[in-house]
């Protein structure tokens, strides 16, 4: 088989459209309408509570780090601040981008904008890229958010635990957006009516970073950048760790989220940072269910899903060797065996995509 | 020539909910608003080819189940990204316990 072309302007994307793989109807587990309405119901309470805790902790850790600046005692404060800045912002960006975290729209939008800034994503662009990710999840040439392409670039994956690749991509992109508008690839999924907004948001981000750098130069200290900017590097590890597990090593070019997404059980701290996105099959199958209802949704539909991984370590112990095998064989992936109670779906698509010759794990 | 078609019974739809109604190769969404009125729109989101019947009705908004775009189903106005194009609406009337919509 030919090498995968992940470009949104390339032949794989065009082929996915031609074959009907793109924008296809995806599998959903049957859930009674009344139950689903209850699961989808919006509330402000849980997200308000979590946001007060998050921003309260960030302020406290930053004040601690500033107060102890110059001594080694500041390190734990910055590490804790960093993981909230550089990782919790990813899940807040995600949930508020969906508009499901809060019931009140302006609260979703406010947290979305703040989180987008912290995670270094143009809020106007990424809203659209994420919509495409949900339409064409891990469809090669269509999904702009494929975190692990085949064959995996291990050096980049490891560097990104420190945010290095993301930031290296972000800087030229935000400058391009600020001064020239969306890039050619971004124009394939951002409607033209939104292009001025892409530029406006980028200008605001660039202005804040320019002011922070100017302040650091004036103070002759890196301290302002410890508060704004650098935590995206030293606090990125948690969101990369959990984010890679979402789809890493699993099938691509299928239209059943049970086959290309992974649910992992997490400890309570990681679940707070990740806002329950460890229930990732459930999230993709029903993206309108808020994060706080995902554990309930999981309990209702788990009979129809592959068995969840019991921990981050266990999930990595399966994913990492699979990624290594993909170095030599791009077609290799972890096949998710469905339970006997699960309903099969679209075997016409999946017979080719799943490949009978590839062993189940 | 527009015609009135029976879509459903009034008690087929809970308040603040919707159902799908297919007729002559077209698909529609019929809404029961919290104020007791009934409305009808095109059945699929204008952003992508997704049936709105699995979405969530909140007041006078319908949220698409795939990307969380929102419309005001009374006017069809697109209210939240990623939807940009308004939803087509259709007139409704009640006759006895039935909901009728005017289709083209």
Between β-strands B70-72 and B61-63, what pairing exists: parallel, antiparallel or unpaired?
antiparallel
Rounded-to-integer distance, Cα A240 and Cα A238, Å: 5
Q: Which domain holds residue B30?
A: 3-103
Q: What is the pLDDT of residue A356?
A: 47
Task: Look at residue A190 and tell me if it is in a domain.
Answer: yes
Q: What is the pLDDT of residue A357?
A: 39
Task: Look at residue A171 and tell me if it is in a domain.
Answer: yes
Model confidence at A70: pLDDT above 80: yes
Each residue's pLDDT tens digit, A300-314: 999 999 999 999 999
Number of domains chain A is built from: 1
Task: Look at residue A116 and tell me if it is in a domain.
Answer: yes
Distances (CA, A) of A41 to A96, A193, A218, B46, B63: 15, 31, 49, 23, 11
Q: How many residues are recorded in chain A? A: 361
Q: What is the pLDDT of residue A20?
A: 83
For range A230-239, the mean pLDDT: 98
Residue A280 CB coordination number (10 Å): 23
Task: Look at residue A179 and tell me if it is in a domain.
Answer: yes
Each residue's pLDDT tens digit, A122-179: 999 888 888 889 889 999 999 989 999 999 999 999 999 999 999 999 999 999 999 9
Q: What is the pLDDT of residue A353?
A: 57
| A253-262, A273-282, B59-68, B80-89: range with highest mean pLDDT | A273-282
Closest CA to A224 of A212, A211, A206: A212
Q: What does the longest C-alpha to C-alpha distance in chain A come to?
A: 65
Residue A50 CB coordination number (10 Å): 20
Number of domains chain B is built from: 1
Most A-contacting residue of B46, B63, B67 (CB-CB within 10 A), to test interface: B67
**Which residues of chain A does B65 touch, with a Cβ-Cβ cutoff of 8 Å?**
286-288
Band (A336; pLDDT cuts 50, 70, 90)? confident
- For chain B, state the CA radius of gyration: 13
Band (A191; pLDDT cuts 50, 70, 90)? confident
Domain of residue B52, CATH code: 2.102.10.10
Task: Look at residue A6 and tell me if it is in a domain.
Answer: no
Distances (CA, A) of A54 to A41, A100, A227, A279, B5: 23, 18, 15, 21, 53
Q: Which residues pair with A334 in a beta bridge?
A: none
Q: What is the pLDDT of residue A293?
A: 98
Model confidence at A23: pLDDT above 90: no
For chain B, give the mean pLDDT: 94
Comparing alpha-carbon positions, the chain B residue that sits nearest to A28 is B54
Model confidence at A358: pLDDT above 50: no
Comparing alpha-carbon positions, the chain B residue that sits nearest to A43 is B58
Phi, psi torsion values for B9, nearest 5 degrees: -85, 155
For range A190-202, the mean pLDDT: 93
Q: Which domain holds residue A281?
A: 11-354
Task: Look at residue A124 and tell me if it is in a domain.
Answer: yes
For chain A, give the mean pLDDT: 92
Most A-contacting residue of B13, B44, B58, B68 (CB-CB within 10 A), to test interface: B68
The position carrying tokens 């930053």 is A62
Comparing alpha-carbon positions, the chain A residue that sits nearest to B47 is A131
Q: Any chain B CB within 8 A of the CB of A128? A: yes
Model confidence at A351: pLDDT above 60: yes
Task: Look at residue A207 and tell me if it is in a domain.
Answer: yes
Give me the half-sphere count of Cα atoms (radius 13 Å) on the Cβ side of residue A24.
Answer: 25
Q: Any chain B CB within 8 A of the CB of A40? A: yes
Instruction: Give the nearest partner residue to A37 out of B49, B56, B80, using CB atoms.
Output: B56
Model confidence at A242: pLDDT above 90: yes
**B49 contacts A99? CB cut-off 8 A:** no
Each residue's pLDDT tens digit, A11-22: 999 998 888 888
Residue A235 CB coordination number (10 Å): 25
**B48 contacts A135? CB cut-off 8 A:** yes
The position carrying tokens 């993709």 is A284
């Amino acid at each position: 088989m030919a090498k995968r072309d992940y470009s949104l302007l390339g032949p794989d994307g065009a082929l996915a459209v031609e074959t009907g793989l793109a924008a296809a109807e995806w599998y959903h587990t049957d859930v009674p309408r009344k139950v689903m309405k209850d699961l989808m119901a919006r509330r402000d309470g849980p997200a308000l509570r979590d946001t007060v805790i998050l921003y309260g902790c960030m302020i406290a850790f930053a004040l601690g780090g500033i107060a102890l600046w110059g001594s080694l005692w500041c390190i734990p404060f910055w590490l804790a601040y960093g993981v909230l800045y550089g990782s919790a912002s990813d899940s807040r960006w995600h949930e508020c981008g969906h508009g499901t975290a809060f019931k009140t729209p302006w609260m979703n939008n406010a947290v979305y904008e703040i989180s987008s800034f912290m995670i270094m994503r143009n809020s106007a662009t990424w809203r659209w890229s994420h919509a495409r990710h949900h339409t064409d999840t891990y469809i090669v040439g269509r999904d702009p958010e494929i975190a692990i392409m085949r064959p995996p670039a291990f050096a980049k994956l490891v560097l990104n635990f420190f945010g290095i690749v993301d930031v290296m991509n972000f800087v030229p992109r935000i400058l391009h957006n600020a001064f020239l508008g969306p890039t050619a690839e971004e124009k394939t999924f951002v409607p033209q009516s939104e292009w001025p907004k892409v530029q406006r948001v980028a200008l605001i981000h660039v202005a804040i970073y320019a002011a922070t750098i100017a302040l650091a130069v004036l103070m002759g200290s890196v301290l302002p950048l410890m508060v704004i900017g650098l935590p995206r590097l030293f606090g990125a590890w948690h969101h990369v760790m959990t984010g890679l597990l979402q789809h890493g090593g699993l099938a691509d070019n299928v239209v059943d989220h049970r086959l290309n997404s992974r649910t992992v059980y997490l400890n309570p701290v990681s679940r707070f940072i990740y806002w329950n996105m460890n229930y990732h099959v459930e999230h993709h199958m029903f993206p309108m269910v808020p994060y706080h209802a995902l554990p309930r949704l999981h309990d209702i539909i788990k009979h129809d899903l592959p068995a969840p991984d019991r921990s981050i370590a266990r999930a990595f112990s399966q994913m990492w060797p699979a990624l290594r095998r993909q170095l030599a064989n791009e077609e290799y992936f972890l096949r998710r065996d469905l339970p006997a109670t699960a309903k099969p779906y679209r075997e016409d698509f999946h017979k080719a995509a799943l490949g009978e010759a590839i062993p189940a794990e | 020539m527009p015609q009135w078609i029976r879509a459903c019974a009034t008690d087929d739809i809970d308040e603040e909910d919707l159902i799908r109604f297919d007729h002559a190769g077209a698909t529609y969404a019929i809404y029961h608003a919290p104020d007791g009125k009934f409305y009808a729109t095109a059945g699929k989101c204008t952003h992508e080819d997704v049936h709105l019947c699995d979405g969530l009705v909140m007041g006078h908004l319908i949220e698409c189940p795939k990307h969380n775009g929102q419309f005001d189903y009374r006017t069809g106005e697109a209210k939240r990204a990623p939807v940009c194009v308004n939803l087509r609406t259709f007139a409704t009337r009640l006759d006895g316990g039935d909901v009728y919509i005017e289709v083209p």
